[in-house]
C-alpha cells in the first residue's frame, strides 16, 4: 500500500522516469502539504505505521519520519534517521527527529514538519545519526508494504475489515502458506480457525474492525516475534522516560501488560489512545477438592 501510494503521487505529479531527485522532492512536498503536524497525547509516545499515517493524515515528527522514510525506501532511495536534542549535558535526551535521503552519494535532509524547502535542517546541540538496516535480498514480507506482513496480508486484512471475500480466495491461500512455513498456524489457533473459515465459507461485506485488527497484529507478529502491537498504533516507552517514568509500553494483544510492578488491564479498542489505570493482577485460581464426611 505504501509503495502503491508513492507511485500514485509520482504519477499525479508527472515526475519523469529516472528523475530520482524529482521523486524525492515530490514525495517530500506531498508529505509536507498533506500531513497535519499533531502532537502525541500527554506523556505518551505514540507511533503510527506508514500505512496508518496514510489513513490519519496527521502525526508528529516521528510519524512523519516513518511515513516519508517508508515511501522513499519503497521506491529505492536509501534513508537514514537523524535525532537531535537541546541539552549537551543529556546526550540521550532527544526532542526532534527527521529523515535524510541519499542522492548521488550525498545525504539530503527532508524535515517535512516545517515550512522549509528540502535540504533545510534545524540547528542541533546534540545530534545522532541512525542507519537503517536493509536486507540484501527482499523477502515476501518486504514486498507487501515493508511492515512485516506476509505477501497479500494487507489486502486480506482490508477484506476482513469491510469489503468481504469469496470462498477459496487466493489471498487466503497465500497467507496460509506463508504462516504455515513460519510455524504460525500451530502457535495461534485463532488465526488458523479464521483462515479455514474464510477459505471454506468466505465472508460477506461488513464492518469488523476488531477482527481485522486482531488478524493484522497476528500477521505482523509472525515476522517479528517481539512485536505484539497492532498495525494502526501502538504505545511504546516514552523517549523521555527520565522525565515521565509513568510511560509504559502497551501491547493490545495481551490481556494484562506489565508496567514496573503493576499490571494494566487491556482497554477497550475505542480507548487505545488513553493509558489505562493500573490495577492488581488477578490472583491465580487453585483447585480445592471437596471432601465429604460420611
Domain extent, residue 115, equals: 2-131
Q: 109-118 burial, b for 16+ CB within 10 Å, e for fewer?
A: bbbbbeeeeb
pTM of the model: 0.51
Q: Read off the pLDDT of residues 92-134 as tens digits, 9 standing for 90 and up.
A: 888 999 999 999 999 999 999 999 999 999 998 999 998 886 6
pLDDT in tens, 281-293: 555 555 555 555 5
Looking at the structure, do residues 62 and 99 belong to the same domain, yes or no? yes
Residue 245 resides in a domain: no
If asked whether residues 49 and 21 sit together in one domain, one would say yes
Round to whole Å and give the CA distance between 98 and 107: 12
Average pLDDT, rounded, for the chain: 76
Which of 168, 192, 223 is the C-terminal boundary of a domain? 223
Q: In this predicted structure, what is the pLDDT of residue 281? A: 55
Last residue of a domain, one of 190, 223, 256: 223
**Could you please report the per-residue DSSP string of 146-188?**
SSS--TTHHHHHHIIIII-B-TT-HHHHHHHHHHHHHTHHHH-
Q: Which of 223, 252, 267 is the last residue of a domain?
A: 223
Q: Report if residue 244 sits inside a domain.
A: no
Claim to verify: residue 156 and residue 112 sit in the same structural domain: no
Give the total number of structural domains in the chain. 2
Is the residue at 257 inside a domain?
A: no
For residue 235, being part of any structural domain is answered with no
Residue 263 lies in a domain: no
Amino acid at each position: 500500500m505504501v509503495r502503491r501510494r508513492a507511485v500514485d503521487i509520482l504519477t499525479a505529479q508527472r515526475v519523469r522516469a529516472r528523475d530520482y531527485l524529482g521523486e524525492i522532492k515530490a514525495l517530500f512536498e506531498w508529505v509536507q502539504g498533506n500531513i497535519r503536524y499533531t502532537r502525541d497525547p500527554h506523556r505518551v509516545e505514540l507511533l503510527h505505521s506508514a500505512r496508518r499515517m496514510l489513513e490519519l493524515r496527521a502525526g508528529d515528527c516521528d510519524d512523519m519520519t516513518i511515513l516519508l522514510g517508508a515511501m522513499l525506501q519503497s521506491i529505492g532511495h536509501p534513508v537514514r534517521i537523524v535525532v537531535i536534542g537541546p541539552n549537551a549535558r543529556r546526550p540521550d535526551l532527544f526532542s526532534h527527529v527527521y529523515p535524510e535521503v541519499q542522492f548521488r552519494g550525498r545525504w539530503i535532509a527532508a524535515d517535512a514538519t516545517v515550512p522549509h524547502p528540502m535540504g533545510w535542517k534545524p540547528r542541533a546541540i546534540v545530534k545522532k545519526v541512525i542507519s537503517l538496516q536493509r536486507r540484501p535480498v527482499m523477502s515476501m514480507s518486504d514486498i507487501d508494504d515493508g511492515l512485516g506482513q506476509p505477501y497479500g496480508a494487507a489486502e486480506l486484512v482490508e477484506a476482513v475489515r469491510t469489503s468481504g471475500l469469496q470462498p477459496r480466495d487466493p489471498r487466503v491461500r497465500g497467507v496460509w502458506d506463508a504462516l504455515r512455513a513460519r510455524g504460525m498456524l500451530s502457535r495461534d489457533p485463532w488465526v488458523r480457525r479464521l483462515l479455514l473459515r474464510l477459505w471454506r465459507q468466505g465472508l460477506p461485506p461488513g464492518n469488523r474492525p476488531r477482527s481485522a485488527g486482531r488478524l493484522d497484529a497476528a500477521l505482523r507478529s509472525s515476522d517479528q516475534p517481539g512485536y505484539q502491537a497492532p498495525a494502526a498504533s501502538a504505545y511504546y516507552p516514552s523517549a523521555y522516560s527520565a522525565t515521565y517514568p509513568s510511560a509504559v509500553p502497551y501491547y493490545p494483544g495481551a490481556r494484562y501488560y506489565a508496567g514496573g510492578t503493576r499490571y494494566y488491564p487491556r482497554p477497550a479498542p475505542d480507548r487505545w489512545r488513553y493509558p489505562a489505570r493500573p490495577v492488581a493482577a488477578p490472583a491465580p485460581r487453585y483447585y480445592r477438592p471437596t471432601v465429604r464426611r460420611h
